[in-house]
């Protein structure tokens, strides 16, 4: 484990093989894409308490030339976004977030918070959850109200593949390679 300072705060970065680091900016992987594909490079933030999922998605998207940031909690995601904004780094073009992390409704609350930030108001938010698979229940009327309140762009059931997430990213971003200031 390595301790790294960021704007006066320490972040713990774990060096476990095959796992994504907490609150770490992940550079894009150099590849041999043609020029039109290179124009579609996105910055993507994955927020999930499942380290294996984070590692798999970071590897999948980085292999396709995208920049990937990961966070294991809502709190870490907000710190990371603050750090990106403070350093003038590219903010995410797209955010995938898990529904249940620290609390049962962390994802909804985090999505609502992100939508209230002017610099993220138009960034697509995609909620991921294994609730339906694990419980056999779909979202009822209350769940639909929470979806509207958090202003999500999509809700996907887990398990979900990198290919499915890439298809959703392409649909939501429509080939937009522009980075947020």
Report which of residues 15 and 129 the model is more confident about. 129
Task: Supply 46's token pair.
Answer: 């994955």
Q: Which domains does the chain have, with CATH numbers?
A: 19-173 (3.40.50.2300)
Supply the pLDDT for residue 5.
Answer: 36
> How crowded is residue 7: how many other Cβ atoms within 10 Å of its Cβ?
9
Question: What is the token pair recorded at 86?
Answer: 């403070």
Instruction: Dig out the tokens for 141 from the structure.
Output: 């009327």
Residue 132: pLDDT band (50, 70, 90) is low
What CA–CA distance (Å, rounded) separates 42 from 110? 21
> Residues of the chain with pLDDT > 90: what percent?
50
Per the structure block, which two tokens stand in for 94?
């797209």
Share the mean pLDDT of the chain: 77
Q: How far is residue 56's CA from residue 74's CA, in Å, rounded to a whole number?
A: 19
Q: For 31-49, how does the pLDDT look when each residue is reduced to its tens digit (9 = 90+)? A: 444 444 445 799 999 999 9
Question: How does residue 147 score in pLDDT terms, banded at 50, 70 and 90?
Answer: low
Structure confidence at residue 142 (pLDDT): 53
| Alpha-carbon span 170 to 106, nearest angstrom | 26
Question: What is the arithmetic mean of pLDDT over 102-120?
Answer: 89
Q: How far is CA 72 from CA 11, 75, 174, in A?
A: 12, 8, 28
E strands within the chain?
2-6, 9-13, 24-26, 43-47, 67-71, 94-98, 125-129, 154-157
């Amino acid at each position: 484990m390595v301790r790294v300072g960021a704007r006066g705060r320490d972040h713990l970065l774990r060096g476990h093989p095959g796992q994504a680091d907490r609150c770490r900016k992940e550079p894009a992987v150099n590849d041999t894409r043609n020029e039109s594909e290179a124009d579609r490079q996105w910055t993507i933030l994955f927020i999930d308490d499942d380290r294996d999922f984070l590692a798999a998605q970071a590897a999948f998207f980085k292999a396709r030339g995208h920049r990937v940031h990961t966070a294991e909690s809502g709190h870490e995601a907000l710190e990371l976004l603050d750090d990106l904004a403070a350093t003038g780094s590219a903010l995410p073009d797209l955010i995938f977030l898990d529904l249940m992390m620290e609390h049962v409704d962390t994802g909804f609350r985090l999505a609502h918070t992100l939508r209230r930030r002017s610099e993220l108001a138009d960034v697509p938010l995609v909620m991921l959850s294994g609730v339906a698979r694990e419980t056999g229940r779909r979202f009822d009327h209350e769940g639909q109200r929470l979806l509207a309140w958090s202003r999500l762009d999509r809700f996907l059931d887990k398990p979900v593949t990198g290919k499915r997430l890439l298809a959703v990213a392409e649909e939501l971003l429509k080939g937009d390679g522009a980075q947020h200031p």
